[in-house]
Amino acid sequence: MATIIDMPKLSDTMTVGTLVKWLKNEGDPLTSGMMIAEIETDKATMELECFEGGTLLKQVAKVGDQINVGAPICVIGQPGEDLSALKLSAPAAAPAAAPKAEVKVPNAEPVATPAPGSKTASVPPPPAPVVHTSTPSHTPVAASIADGRVKVSPLARKIAAEKGVDVSRLQGSGPGGRIVKSDVLAVAEGKASYITSAPHRSGSASASTTAPSSPITGAGVFRGPVAEQQDIPLSNMRATIARRLLEAKTQIPHFYLEVEVDAAPLLALRAQVNGALEGRGVKVSVNDFILKACVEALRRVPGVNCSWEGTLIRQHAAVHMAFAVAIEDGLITPVVRDAQDKSVFEIAAEAKTLGALAKQKKLKPDQYTGGTFCVSNLGMLGVDRFSAIINPPNAAILAVGATVKKPVVGPGDTIVVGQRMALTLSCDHRVVDGVLGAQWLAAVKDLVEKPALLLL
């Protein structure tokens, strides 16, 4: 008897999944344990496993479809079975994934462009594009264009603008024909070519889809639009991030504590360790030492390694150390489990592996859930200091800034060149009081400034 395979819940926060790729075709024989499709969840891209044998009779969902949890994906059964009695319907795309085509006008209202963790700022729209009144000849339209909108990721669009690539003439290789970074780079580097001339968009005259080059005036001022005005559809991950961060910021009473630490001893030790172990392929980053310092500080002050559970505060026995990794669609926090039992070298190796999987969107649910504390480091991007939003149900998150050379007061009240790093702790005041947070930060400061303790 034919069996309908529904979209499973592949993560604790998942409500919808996007079908990225079919691994099996209609008519293919299946056995239990086979992977039949790739599904993009709110956190990662995962393979969908078949738990029974038979034949793939029908693919209900198409590549690029956004499918609610519990909605049908495919039908498995025996060859020749009648499927007419089954209630099958192709899943409708989520509203965020199919915005209507945008009408561009020269005097549009400013567009609000929020940045994570910052207030919304109004940015004026770019000037209207150059419109050609002649009717274009018929040309094939790239699959990456739907309803008059070019489906392209924000990163791919940015790279295309920098390299002068016309995204409207590319064939996307991402979910649903979406243009991704690799598609743009392939054309920019001469490894691929355009597949069509710029298409005629429905409901309007043919319009240039790429911003004109920005000439430099005699005064050295760049002119012209900085990007094409558009409505960018939300990915599953970005929609989840938006919802969870809004909940976190509005429901958790944040307060912030900051210390400035002397990073010179840590930098010196790191250089010695990496120099001595380079032949063995060992390389430890500043962030690896910070993760280890946080683990040991939580051992000294375990009250920060807790979570708010509504009617109680849960004290965690183990430290499952999460760390933020930026990926194309947003942010994810891989977790080094039982970090209290691991050396800085083990933490470094595991963090490197998890970070690579995160960027490939190949993390499994148990690799990005269950963290008890989190570290967010923007120091490598030159940010001196910042405040991070707590990732519930954690009670705190540490924001790590860049190491900055600055004059400091040395021995004998002399002014010397110091290497200083700002550490900012965001605390959930329902769990962590000011004194407790300050004690934990003092422990981290002591460990960073005496980094030999992190090698024990």
429 is annotated as an active-site residue: yes
**List 12, 28, 341, 433, catalytic entry:** 433
Q: Which token pair is 342?
A: 């691991």
SS3 35: strand
- Residues 173, 176, 181: CA angle, nearest 5 degrees: 35
* 128: Cβ contacts below 8 Å, ≥ 6 apart: 104, 105, 106
**List 6, 231, 429, 446, catalytic entry:** 429
From residue 365, alpha-carbon distances to 21, 87, 241 in Å are: 20, 31, 16
Positions of E strands within 91-150: 111-113, 121-123, 145-146, 149-150
254 is annotated as an active-site residue: no
Residue 102 backbone phi and psi in degrees, to 5: -90, 135
Distance between CA atoms of residues 14 and 349, nearest Å? 29
Cβ 370 vs Cβ 319: under 8 Å: no
Greatest extent of the chain over all pairs of C-alpha atoms, in Å? 90
* Residue the block writes with tokens 């200091």: 385
Cβ 452 vs Cβ 269: under 8 Å: yes
Of 290, 268, 298, residue with least CA distance to 454: 290
Name the burial class of residue 442, with classes exposed (0-12), middle (13-18) and buried (19+) by CB atoms within 10 angstroms of its CB: middle
Within 176-256, residue ranges assigned H as helices are 181-188, 236-251
Of 306, 367, 358, residue with least CA distance to 332: 358
Q: Give the active site residues.
A: 429, 433
